[in-house]
Amino acid sequence: MLTPQPASPNVSARLARQSSKDTAPELALRRELHRRGRRFRVHLRPLQGLRRTADIVFPRHRVAVFVDGCFWHRCPEHGSDPKNNSAWWDAKLRRNVERDRETDRILEDSGWTAVRVWEHEAVDAAADRVEQRLDESSRTVPYS
């Protein structure tokens, strides 16, 4: 499928941002988690053989964090459907969301916890949620 020409500077900016790593919301979350004493890996495939990269990974806790862009992952508050090439966009964004849900399912089937954070979320709330999942996951691991 051919990529249509962006219809506006706004769409061009979104395109440029699509696969970028180290976005501002991601960096802010990493900084906050680090400040709280959490240590993690970044841009890592949680599962061998699964071609999906998580933004923040806690291998020992088996927690994978994805910071999702509101446009690309169709945030309920800020997701929008471009008017130009609407069928193409609809198919593309729908595939993104399906892929997200599939990734979550595969990770959870493998004993991982997937945490989804929207780029619009306040960093404190996002970090709280990540830490909550970390605490939950350490409780489920038996002490040896």
Contact footprint for Zn ion (CB under 5 A): 70, 75, 77-78, 118, 120
**Beta carbon nearer to Zn ion, 75 or 106:** 75
Q: Least distance from C-beta 122 to Zn ion, angstroms? A: 12
In one-letter notation, the amino acid at residue 102 is E
Q: Least distance from C-beta 70 to Zn ion, angstroms? A: 3
Q: Least distance from C-beta 120 to Zn ion, angstroms? A: 4
Q: Least distance from C-beta 87 to Zn ion, angstroms? A: 23
Q: Tokens 């595969």 sit at which residue? A: 106
**Beta carbon nearer to Zn ion, 25 or 46:** 25
Q: What's the Cα-to-Cα distance from 2 to each of 6, 63, 72, 73, 85, rounded to whole Å? A: 12, 36, 18, 20, 11
Interatomic CA distance for residues 133 and 127, integer angstroms: 10
**Beta carbon nearer to Zn ion, 40 or 118:** 118
**Beta carbon nearer to Zn ion, 77 or 109:** 77
Q: Least distance from C-beta 4 to Zn ion, angstroms? A: 24
Residue 21's beta-bridge partner residues? none
**Beta carbon nearer to Zn ion, 36 or 78:** 78
DSSP per-residue codes, 17-58: HTT-SS-HHHHHHHHHHHHTT---EEEE-SSTT----EEEEE
Q: How many helices (H) and strands (E) does the chain have?
A: 4, 4
